[in-house]
Amino acid sequence: AREHDNLREALHWFEKKGGGEAAAAVQSIVLLLAGTRPFD
């Protein structure tokens, strides 16, 4: 659960820094690394 919290924080940071496009790219990578499971 802690790892998912860190990933969420990273996504929020990317959204603020680079906008939704960068966040979407990061999220797809994260989903691949997580085995394509959506966050709870």
Q: Which residues contact 6 (CB under 8 A, 6 or more apart)?
A: none
- pTM (two decimals): 0.38
pLDDT in tens, 16-30: 776 677 777 877 888
Tokens of residue 38, six digits:
């959506």
| For residue 38, pLDDT beyond 60 | no
How many Å is the Cα radius of gyration of the chain? Answer: 10
Angle at 1 between CA 16 and CA 17, to 5 degrees: 10
Q: Token digits for 23? A: 């966040």
d(CA 22, CA 24) in angstroms, rounded, equals 5
